[in-house]
Amino acid sequence: MNVTHLASKGTVLGTVVLSLLTVPAHGTPTGTLPKPDLTGLQRVLATAYRQGAPGAVARIDDHGRIQWAAMGFADRRSRRPISNADRFRIGSVTKTFTTVVLMQLADEGKLRLDAPVERYLPGLLPDRTITVRELLGHRSGLYDYTNAMFSKSVPGFEAVRTKVFTYRQLLNRSLWHGRTGAPGVTYSYSNTNFVVAGMLVEKLTGHSVRTEYENRIFKPLKLRDTFYVVPGTKIPGRHARGYLAPDRAGAPMIDATEQTMSWAQSAGAVISSTRDLNTFFSALLGGRLTSHAQLQQMERMVPVDSTQAYGLGLRRRQLSCGISVYGHTGAVQGYYTYAFATKDGRRSLTAVATTSNNVAVLNTMMGTLESAFCGKQTKTRRAAAPVERYEDIAPGVARG
């Protein structure tokens, strides 16, 4: 094992620790993919730190070779350096976990993607034609309740951080508003879809989503850092603290680590680590969690913009070098996460920055994908298209 430990002087928190760990490969190099650009990866994390993220970490798994870089601190008070061993809240990456459970239920003959939700949850939705597929692909037309809940980030968070909601209460917050469109017509990201997806899981199995996550994904993949603790407020074990940037310039950051996550549940409440998320997406894309037929359904994409598309609980991003990667992004108070892998799952990246309500950091962290999958490039990369400003948190609310 070759370990390099570097230190540099930070402009915000003083001394910053930058760590790089490389574990030699036990197999052959990854196909025709360029080698990851570790220097570029470090540069992205350093930029996120300068832009206000107290800590940022990224891990690449590539044919048994593990490489990771970390910048800053897991805890602003203790100033403990952040590392890839730290757990964190993954936000909307949870949606892929929820989708996998439903795909397994489809494999078992308990669910049909093109059946209306009405078949399984009669009387729940005002439009009885909305299908399961439309939920998982964000084409149901259901308003995202978090737009109103978090129209102001800090007051919205403080109002819900200790509350416990039922799925029905969250759905009702959506139904108070008009729909965004007719079912099946337009992609419109909405957490409400995955609240209903959680209700489907519990109705079809008779178990909580926690039990289904554990029995179908966490335990089989030996994800030792992955948990669903709603409505518990703490992250178990070693973890990075997450910080919500203030709505008003100059105001202090809010430590948002402890909250019930009841406002998100099956749409965004899972806790994990870089190791476990890479394991999960490698297994999913490698065909080890669903049948080939159901994985193909997840990978049937609807374009979102010029560089990305959305399938069923799964995103595809086209990078500047022409490579497409599959996974999900997640924003939750205190954390921004990118978790993606190649289509065969053989190279995966998870990166997280421990802040939110900071658009500059969110857009900067997309650069981890370029470094991990495109490597060093001699030609100037085309400018990246704007990414979603918010995933879990009020995606429809415009922010500067």
Burial of residue 183 (number of CB atoms within 10 Å: 0-12, 13-18, 19+): buried
**371 included as an active-site residue:** no
Choose among 120, 76, 79: nearest CA to 102: 120
User: If you ran DSSP here, which 8-state letter would residue 36 be given?
Assistant: P
**Cβ(329)–Cβ(337) under 8 Å?**
yes
Place of tokens 């799925």: 167
Residue pair 139/302 in contact (Cβ under 8 Å)? The answer is yes
CA–CA distance from 242 to each of 104, 151, 331 (Å)? Answer: 32, 20, 11
Structure tokens at 350: 């998870």
In contact, 253 and 333? CB cutoff 8 Å: no
| Cβ atoms within 10 Å, residue 3 | 9
Alpha carbon of 340 to those of 8, 106, 135, 323, 324: distances in Å?
Answer: 29, 24, 22, 12, 10
Give the integer Cα–Cα distance in Å for 308 and 304: 6
The catalytic residue among 83, 92, 262, 282 is 92
List residues with catalytic annotation: 92
